[in-house]
Structure 1
Amino acid sequence: MRFKNKNNIAFIFTIKFIWLLCFQQTALAAEVKNPVIHKTHAIAMHGQPKYPANFTHFDYANPDAPRGGVFKQATVSSSGFDSLNPFIVKGVPAAGMAYLGGGYIYDTLLVQSYDEAFTKYGLLAESMEWPDNRSWITFHLRKNAKFHDGHPITAEDVVFTFNLLTEKGHPLYKTYYHNVKTVTALNNHSVKFEFDTKTNRELILIVGQFPILPKHYWETHDFTKTTLEFPLGSGPYKISKVDPGRSIHYERVKDYWGQNVAVNKGQYNFDMLIFDYYREPSVAIEAIKAGKYDLRVENSAKSWATEYNIASVKKGHLIKASITDYTPAAMQSFIFNIRRDKFKDLKVREAIGYAYDFEWQNKTIFYNSYTRIDSYFAGSELAATGTPSKAELVLLDPFKKQLPSELFTKPFTLPKTDGSGNIRNNLRQALRLLKQAGWQIKNKQLVNNKGEPFNFEVLLTQANFERIVLPFQKNLKRMGIEMTIRKIDTQQYIERRNSFDFDMIVSGFPQSTSPGNEQRDYWHSSQANIKGSRNYIGIENPVVDQLISKIIQAPDRKTLIASTQALDRVLLWNHYVIPQYYLNQTRLVYWNKFGMPEQPPKYAVGLNTWWYDSAKAKKLTKQ
Structure 2
Amino acid sequence: MYGDPALPPGFAALPHANPDAPKGGRIVTGNTGGFDSLNPFLRKGTSPWQLRFFSYESLMGRNWDEPFALYGLLAETVETAPDRSWVEFTLRPEARFSDGSPVTVEDVIWSYETLGTLGHPRYLSFWTQVDRIEATGPRSVRLTFNTDNRELALIAGMRPILQKAQWSDRDFTAATLNDIPIGTGPYVVSDFEAGRHVTLTRNPAYWGRDLPLRRGTHNFDEIRVDFYGDGDVLFEAFKAGALSYMREFNAEAWANRYGFPDALSGNVVKSEIPHQKPSGMTGFVMNARRAPLDDIRVRDALIHTFNFEFINDTLTGARQPRITSYFSGSQLAMQPGDATGRVAELLTPFADDLPPDTLSGYTLPASDGSARNRKNLRRAMKLLKDAGWDVVDGQLQHAQGDPFTLDILLRQSDTQDKAIIDIYRKSLERLGITVTVTLTDNAQYTQRVSNFDFDLTDFRRALSLSPGNEQHLYWGSDAADQPGSRNLMGLKSPVVDRLIDAMLTAETQEEFTAATRALDRVLTAGRHVIPIWTYAVGRIAHRKELRYPDTLPIYGDGAEWMPAFWWYQE
Query: What TM-score range do you get, normalising by the shorter chain?
Result: over 0.9
Q: Quote how far apart the aligned CAs of 1:583 are.
A: 2.1
**Superimposed CA distance per residue, residues 281-305 of structure 1 (whole angstroms, 9 cap, x where no aligned partner):** 1111111111111010112334323
Report the 3-state secondary structure (helix = DSSP H, G, I; strand = E; otherwise coil) of the residue aligned with 1:341: coil
Q: Which amino acid aligns with 1:91?
A: G
Are 2:12 and 1:56 aligned? Answer: yes
Distance 1:217 1:419 in 2: 58
Residue 170 of structure 1: aligned partner: 120
Structure 1 position 91, deviation (Å): 0.2
Q: Deviations over 1:381-440 (max 9, x none)?
A: 11112221211111111112111223223x211111111212111111111111111111
3-state SS of 2:44 partner:
coil
Corresponding residue to 1:397 among 325, 348, 365: 348
Residue among 466, 481, 486 paired with 1:534: 486
Once the two structures are superposed, the pairs formed by residues 182-581 of structure 1 within 5 Å of their partners are 182-197=132-147, 199-229=148-178, 230-386=180-336, 387-409=338-360, 411-461=361-411, 462-581=414-533
**What is the TM-score normalised by the length of structure 1?**
0.88
The answer on 1:73 being equivalent to 2:22 is: no
Contact 2:480 2:492 in 1 (8 A): yes
* Secondary structure of the corresponding residue to residue 114 of structure 2: helix
| 1:158 is the counterpart of 2:114 | no
Q: Does the C-alpha gap of structure 1 residues 610 and 338 become closer, same or farther in structure 2, counting only changes over 3 Å? A: same
* Structural RMSD (CA): 1.3
- The answer to whether structure 1 residue 137 and structure 2 residue 87 are counterparts is yes
Quick check: 2:32–2:228 contact (8 Å CA) kept in 1? yes
Question: How far did 1:463 drift?
Answer: 3.2
For each residue in 1:169-207, what CA deviation from the matched residue of structure 2 results, as whole angstroms up to 9, or x when unmatched? 11221213432211111122100011113x311111110
SS in 2 for 1:508: strand
Contact 2:499–2:515 (Cα < 8 Å) also in 1: yes
1:82 touches 1:228 (CA, 8 Å); kept in 2? yes
Q: Within 1, Cα distance between the matches of 2:126 and 2:466?
A: 14
Structure 1 position 309, deviation (Å)? 1.0
Structure 2: gaps spanning 5 or more residues: none
Residue 577 of structure 1 and its aligned partner are, at CA, apart by: 1.4
Q: What is the DSSP-based 3-state SS (H/G/I as helix, E as strand, rest coil) of the residue aligned with 1:343?
A: coil
In the alignment, the residues of structure 1 paired with residue 160 and residue 27 of structure 2 have an alpha-carbon distance, to the nearest angstrom, of 24
8 Å Cα contact 2:327/2:333 also seen in 1: yes
Letter in 2 for 1:201: R
Pick from 97, 102, 106: which aligns with 2:51?
97
Equivalent residue for 1:120?
70
Please name the residue that 2:551 is paired with: 599
Partners of 1:397 and 1:579 in 2: CA distance: 26
CA separation in 1, counterparts of 2:531 and 2:435?
Answer: 18
- Cα deviation for residue 70 of structure 1 reads 0.5
Which has the greater radius of gyration? 1
Task: Give the whole-Å Cα distance in 2 for the aligned partners of 1:587 and 1:595.
Answer: 14
Equivalent pair of 2:162/2:181 in contact (CA under 8 Å): no
- Partners of 2:132 and 2:118 lie apart in 1 by 17
Q: Helix, strand or coil for the counterpart of 1:138?
A: strand
Deviations 1:5-40 (A, max 9, x none): xxxxxxxxxxxxxxxxxxxxxxxxxxxxxxxxxxxx
| Secondary structure of residue in 2 paired with 1:231 | coil
Give the counterpart letter for 2:509 in structure 1: R
Percent identity of the aligned residues? Answer: 39
Amino acid paired to 1:443: D
Q: Give 1:470 shift.
A: 1.3
Determine the C-alpha separation between the residues in 1 that align with 2:321 and 2:65: 25
Partner of 1:22: none
In structure 2, what is the Cα distance between the partners aligned to 1:116 and 1:149? 33
Structure-2 separation of matches of 1:226 and 1:488? 25
Q: Which runs of 5 or more structure 1 residues have no equivalent in the other structure?
A: 1-44, 617-623
Judging changes above 3 Å, is the alpha-carbon distance between structure 1 residues 372 and 595 closer, same or farther for their aligned structure 2 residues? closer
Q: CA deviation at 1:210?
A: 1.1
Map of 1:108 onto structure 2: 58
- Which residue number in structure 1 is paired with residue 36 of structure 2? 82
Looking at structure 1, the residues matched to 357 and 66 of structure 2 have their Cα atoms a distance apart, in angstroms, of: 36
Q: Deviations over 1:543-599 (max 9, x none)?
A: 111111111111111111111111111111111111111121111110101232221
Q: Distance in 2 between matches of 1:393 and 1:178?
A: 32
Shift of 1:226: 4.2
**Does the aligned pair in 2 maintain the 1:338–1:344 contact within 8 Å?**
yes
Contact kept? 1:177, 1:207, Cα under 8 Å: no
Check 1:424–1:554 CA distance in 2 against 1; reply closer, same or farther (3 A cut): same
- Structure 2 counterpart of 1:583: 535
In the aligned structure 1, how far is the partner of 2:55 from the partner of 2:404?
Answer: 49
**Worse overlay, 602-611 or 484-493:** 602-611
Alpha carbons of structure 1 residues 177 and 329: separation in structure 2 relative to 1, 3 Å: farther
Cα distance in 2 for residues equivalent to 1:603 and 1:407: 29
Residue 54 of structure 2: SS of its match in structure 1? coil
Shift of 1:601: 2.0
Q: Secondary structure at the residue paired with 2:213? A: helix
Asked if 2 retains the 8 angstrom alpha-carbon contact of 1:156 and 1:188, the reply is no
**5 Å matches for 1:610-621?**
610-613=566-569, 616=570
1:523 maps to amino acid = W
Query: Matched residues in 1 for 2:99 and 2:137: separation?
Result: 22
Q: What is the Cα deviation at residue 231 of structure 1?
A: 2.9
| Distance of 1:231 and 1:249 partners within structure 2 | 15
8 Å CA contact 2:112, 2:127 repeated in 1 = no
Alpha carbons 2:538, 2:556 under 8 Å: kept: no
SS of residue in 2 equivalent to 1:263: coil
DSSP 3-state at the match of 2:172: coil
Which consecutive aligned stretches of 4+ in structure 1 deviate over 6 angstroms post-superposition?
Answer: none
